[in-house]
Each structure stands twice: as C-alpha cells, then as structure tokens.
A and B are shown apart, each in its own frame.
Chain A
Amino acid sequence: MVVVLFVITLVAGLSLGYVNDLTLEPKARAKLAKMVKALNIVLPQFDNNPINEVVRIKSEQAKDSTEIYPAFRDSTFIGAAVIGSSEKGYSGLVKLMVGFHPDGKIKNIGVIQQKETPGLGTKMKGEKFLRQFRDKSPLTFDLRVEKDGGEVDALAGATISTRAFSEATQQAYDAYIEFSETIKKQTN
C-alpha cells in the first residue's frame, strides 16, 4: 500500500528532475533576455557587453551590493545602468534599473520587479509617471515625493509605491556617484 505511494512519488520525483534539467537553460535565458531588454531601454546605444562587465558596489546603506552595468561605445564611457531597490513598496520589493548619463542625469528608468496594486502602484511602469524623471539629475531634482517636500509627482492613490520608487532611484544614484568617482580615478 505504502509501496504504491512510494513508487508513484519516486516516478514523479524523477520525471520532475528530468523536466527541471530541461528547463534550467530556458529559464536562465529568459532571465537574461529580461535584463538585456531593460538595459536597452534605459541606456543609450552601446557596443560593449554590460552584463559581462558588471561592477558591484557595496555601500554602507544598502544590505547587498548594488549592481552597475557600464555601457561603452567606441571605448568611450557613455553611461551606466544601476539596479536600485526598496522594500518599502506597498507589497514589498520594488526593483528598478536606472540608466544614467555620464554627467549623472537620468536617461530612463525600467521597473524590474514590483508587486504593487494593479491600476494604482503598477502605473509606475507607465510613460506618464516615468516622463518626469528623464534628463533630471538627482543632484538638483529632489527625488522625494511632493508630499514629503520633494519634486516627484506621486502616482494617484499610490503614495507608498511612489515613495519606494523614489527610494530605489536614490539608492541607484548614490551607488552611481560612488562608481563614477572610481571611473574618474581610473582614467586619471
């Protein structure tokens, strides 16, 4: 009786192990494709391979190291995409990829991960919201929400999501500044 159950479970386990092996590569490829797509959205045209040249910066505030993907064209540094995240979203983690120009201005922001309220917080992926960040330098553009004294026009009915978004962007910028100091030292 138990033998039958054991046999079924064994067969199931083995078959699943097989399917798992089959799908490991496509899964990795899907993850990579997503990264590449995000990089292409937030960075200007590049001809290097940012994913292979990822730099990891560990700042005192962040828990884990921040990933920075530098972009080059004709061997000139044209910007970098930085992963910024905040766990203060309405439903937890909000993870962004912020593309910076060499002078620190934001080129574009891509949302990598979020589980915010549909129709409210999820509008952070939309044109209307993202538009206000482009070509702004966090040095002069206060990334806090207007309600908190900053300059960010929050999403309707989703202040918490917006705050998390701002925090993630700020984190990305701080890491980028640290990174560009390093680059400057290297080229000098």
Chain B
Amino acid sequence: MANTLDHKQNFLKGIIKENPVFVMLLGMCPTLGVTSSAFNGLGMGLATLFVLLMSNIVVSLIKSQIPNKVRIPAFIVIIASFVTVVEMVLEAYIPFLYEQLGIFIPLIVVNCLILGRAEAFASKNNLTASIVDALGMGMGFVIALTALGATREILGNGSIFEWRFVSEDANTLILFILPPGAFIALAYLAIIFNRLTNKKA
C-alpha cells in the first residue's frame, strides 16, 4: 500500500503525529541511555537519522530485488552496515562522542525505529517518499533526544551543551543525570508533549 501523503505531511508526521519516541515508543534504549547531556542526545539523534536515511534509501532502491522471505535479514544487514560505518567514522573523527555514546552506537542496529520504517515504508514506497519519511522520523527522534538531553543536563548539571550557568560547586539535581532521572524526565516530557499535541488535534 503506497503512501498517499504529500511531502509536507509525510515529513511532519514523523515529528508530531507519529513521533517515534513520544507516540510510537520506538528506540527507547538510546533515548534513555545516552541523554545525560544535550550534546550526547543530539549526537545520537543525528547518528540514528543518518542510518535511518541511508537504509531507507537503499531499501527503497533495491526493494524489488529482495525476496519476501529474506527481507528482514536483508534489512538487518543493510542497517548494520550503515551502523558500522557510523561506528568507524565516529571513532576516527569525533572520538569524544564515540566514547560518550559507547555501546549504544552498535545498538542503533536494533533500534526498532529503523527496522520498522524499512519494513513499513521504504520497502513499499518510492525513493523520494522514503527519503522524506526518514528525514521526518529522524528529525522527530533528534528533537526528542535533544530535548530530553537538554532537560537532564540543565536540571542535573546546571549546564546546556557544556555551557555552565551555575558554579561548579552548586548543588544541582544530580538525580537527572542518573538512570532514574532519565525515566522521570522522559515521563514529564511525554506529558508535556501530549498536552501540546492534543491542543492541536
């Protein structure tokens, strides 16, 4: 069933109506795991966006060549390849981010968002639509992760993108940088997101 949305709707759905984190609950592991700072959240978001975009493109291009029975393993290999590229490039050129994201970089391959879009969209739609879909969903993911990272960093560390606005000795709400804080911060962001989007609907 091919997509019937125009490009604008296609793009925007990834950000609001079908936001991967707040609505579809996909990619929860990295969302909670690497958002202890805004920079990490943004970095992971962009890395995921890259993999999503590239795999959507490749899947959309060769979809007619992949027999139905092996499509999931085939998607996985394609996605894993791009994840490995991201791994290598980060280790070589942005080692700081590579260390911060740690084990969650290879885990991009099991981010249900990417496999999900390959299966639900890119394998059934043309190249342009798949690109727009990837960009929309990817941006939705980036926004969610950066927002969560920023929230946790502001509350837990008194800084944003490493720019401190309280002194180093100040008592910040460290809880937010620790694991429980991830859950709690995301819970409240989800409430806010729901409020905002319900008003629109």
Contact A4 B70 (CB under 8 A): yes
Task: Name B3-22 residues within 8 Å CB distance of A.
Answer: none
Contact B67 A1 (CB under 8 A): yes
Give bound CA distance, A5 to B102, whole Å. 29
Looking at the complex, which one of A4, A30, A119, A127 makes contact with B174 (CB distance below 8 Å)? A119
Q: What's the interface size class on A, roughly?
A: 20 to 34
Looking at the complex, which one of A20, A31, A128 makes contact with B168 (CB distance below 8 Å)? A128
**A5-48 to B contact mask, C-beta < 8 Å, 1/0:** 10011001001100110010011011100100000000000000
Contact A119 B69 (CB under 8 A): no
Q: Is the interface of A mostly helix, strand, loop or mixed?
A: helix
Contact B84 A16 (CB under 8 A): yes
Contact B65 A4 (CB under 8 A): yes
Task: Name B178-199 residues within 8 Å CB distance of A.
Answer: 178
The reply to whether the CB of B88 lies closer than 8 angstroms to some CB of chain A is yes
Query: Which residues of A are interface residues toward B (Cβ below 8 A)?
Result: 1-2, 4-5, 8-9, 12, 15-16, 19-20, 23, 26-27, 29-31, 34, 115, 117-120, 126-128, 157
Beyond A8-B66, A23-B91, A128-B169, list 6 extra A-B contacts (CB 8 Å).
A4-B74, A12-B80, A16-B88, A30-B92, A118-B156, A127-B168
